[in-house]
């Protein structure tokens, strides 16, 4: 197994100040958002790779990670991160400051002062299972065999066979061992083949594991079920809650809309998508729709921020959720008001918020977009799913978007 130690890449949600502000008393930090892994790094993994992430990241200009220590238990593989988090100038922590860590299944806060917190987070190495190899179809035993994969809980098997008219069919089976019975197929059909991939279990450590592609008996990738982005289901662990009682909306987590409250671990959830009201203000709904009165949001203070950290203030209150500046210009803000960038999962839909500082940072993108080297298409029609990524369907010009959204 290959082990990679990688440095942090920062892509997240942001806030800054565009205008000079008067000197004010220190402000309470409502929430601290941390991450043990960046999504971009997960996309770069290959079968058999494992990452121990050495540089956790923070989101927001209110605090920063001063120091990190990492230890790994060789007996059970658990990684313990001890993060020394400091309040930035003009900010302070108190007992109500929530802590949220993406990629941690458990966290605790052992030290809490007005300027410093010691956060302990537990996780496992992020990894992709090896692909299956050495598949042999034994016509004598009427079985298919393959080399066992370390860490596999079971195996998903696709059995292909052709009927007397030459029509190809397939069935899916699960096997707890590195073999599958083919008697009913080898005895009845001239053409029989299999494609196999290892599957993970349901334990906590398996949330840090992704499954590779199916491999057929020739040793190649099964093109009918090809995936180019490995899927993880990493947890977000939360200590405390926000003042409004919500918790868990870590801007690093592309799947976490923030549900629940109090200490615990939040797993991917979803909201209802962006909708604009009659005056152009953001209202929760079932997908983005054009305002009946196109134009700018009424009576707002506007953008506040600079660099990588932004809020949008409406009548002195930070915008939360979807906000339409115009019918074509949408932004999303987490529960603390931080503007988000990059991937956003909201309910059943996936959106891409501009990750580039090109003058429209954080804006919801539509049409064809290239991200992390892959081509995607996002709905350009105001039909209730404006901006949503196409999956398992054809784009308007006839190109196929697969289950991960990649256009071929």
Query: What are the boundaries of each domain within the chain?
Result: 2-126+234-266, 130-199, 274-401
| Contact between 34 and 54 (Cβ < 8 Å) | no
Q: Could you say which DSSP state residue 37 is in? A: S
Q: What pairing do the DSSP bridges indicate for beta strands 116-123 and 106-112?
A: antiparallel
Query: What pLDDT band is residue 296 in, cutting at 50, 70 and 90?
Result: very low
Does the CA dihedral 348-354-355-361 come out positive or negative? negative
- Average pLDDT over every residue of 313-334: 82
Distance from CA of residue 288 to its chain's centroid?
Answer: 21
The helices-and-strands tally (H runs, E runs) of the chain is 2, 35
More confident call, 321 vs 65: 65
Residue 312 CB neighbour total at 10 angstroms: 24
Q: Which residue has the tokens 């007397």?
A: 164
For residues 364 and 287, give the distance between their C-alpha atoms in angstroms, rounded to a whole number. 13
- Does pLDDT of 74 surpass 50? yes
SS3 of residue 58 by DSSP: strand
Residue 94 exposed, middle or buried by CB count within 10 Å (0-12, 13-18, 19+): exposed
Question: Which residue from 338, 339, 400, 336 is spatially nearest to 364, judged by alpha carbons?
Answer: 339
Q: Minimum mean pLDDT among 17-31, 259-273, 296-310, 331-345: which range? A: 259-273
Q: Minimum mean pLDDT among 18-32, 85-99, 229-243: which range? A: 18-32
The CATH architecture that domain 130-199 belongs to is Sandwich (2.60)
In percent, the amount of the chain with pLDDT more than 90 equals: 43
Q: Which residues pair with 180 in a beta bridge?
A: 144
In percent, the amount of the chain with pLDDT more than 70 equals: 79
- Does pLDDT of 64 surpass 50? yes
CB neighbour burial string for 264-299, b if at least 16 within 10 angstroms, e if fewer: bbbeebebbbbbbeeebbbbebebbbbbeeeeebee
Q: What was the pLDDT predicted at 53?
A: 83
Span 122-132, pLDDT tens digits: 999 999 999 99
The CATH architecture that domain 274-401 belongs to is Ribbon (2.10)
Structure tokens at 177: 């061992």
Query: What pLDDT band is residue 244 in, cutting at 50, 70 and 90?
Result: low
């Amino acid at each position: 197994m290959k082990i990679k130690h990688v440095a942090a890449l920062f892509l997240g949600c942001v806030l800054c100040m565009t205008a000079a502000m008067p000197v004010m008393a220190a402000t309470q930090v409502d929430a601290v958002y941390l991450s043990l892994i960046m999504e971009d790094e997960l996309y770069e993994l290959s079968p058999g790779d494992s990452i121990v992430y050495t540089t956790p990241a923070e989101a927001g200009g209110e605090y920063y990670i001063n120091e990190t220590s990492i230890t790994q238990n060789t007996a059970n593989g658990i990684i313990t991160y001890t993060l020394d988090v400091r309040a930035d100038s003009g900010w302070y922590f108190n007992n109500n400051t929530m802590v949220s860590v993406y990629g941690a299944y458990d966290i605790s806060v052992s030290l809490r002062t007005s300027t410093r917190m010691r956060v302990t987070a537990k996780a496992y190495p992020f990894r992709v299972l090896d692909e299956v190899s050495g598949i042999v179809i034994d016509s004598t035993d009427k079985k298919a065999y393959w080399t066992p994969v370390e860490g596999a809980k079971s195996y998903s098997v696709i059995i292909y066979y052709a009927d007397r008219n030459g029509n190809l069919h397939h069935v899916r089976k699960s096997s707890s061992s590195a073999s599958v019975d083919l008697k009913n197929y080898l005895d009845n059909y001239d053409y029989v083949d299999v494609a196999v991939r290892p599957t993970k279990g349901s334990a906590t450590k398996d949330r840090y594991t992704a499954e590779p592609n199916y491999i057929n008996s020739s040793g190649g990738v099964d093109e009918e079920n090809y995936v180019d982005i490995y899927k993880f289901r990493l947890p977000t662990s939360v200590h405390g809650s926000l003042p409004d009682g919500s918790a868990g909306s870590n801007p690093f987590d592309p799947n976490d809309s923030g549900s629940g409250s109090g200490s615990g671990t939040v797993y991917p959830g979803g909201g209802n998508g962006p909708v604009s009201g009659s005056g152009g203000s953001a209202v929760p709904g079932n997908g983005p729709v054009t305002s009946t009165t196109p134009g700018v949001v009424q009576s707002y203070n506007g953008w506040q921020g600079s660099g990588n950290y932004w809020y949008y203030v409406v009548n002195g209150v930070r915008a939360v959720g979807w906000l339409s500046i115009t019918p074509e210009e949408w932004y999303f803000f987490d529960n603390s008001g931080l503007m988000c960038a990059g991937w956003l999962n909201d309910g059943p839909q996936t959106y891409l918020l501009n990750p580039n500082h090109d003058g429209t940072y954080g804006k919801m993108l539509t049409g064809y977009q290239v991200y992390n080297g892959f081509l995607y298409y996002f709905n350009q029609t105001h039909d209730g799913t404006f901006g949503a990524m196409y999956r398992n369907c054809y784009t308007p010009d006839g190109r196929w978007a697969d289950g991960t959204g990649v256009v071929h």
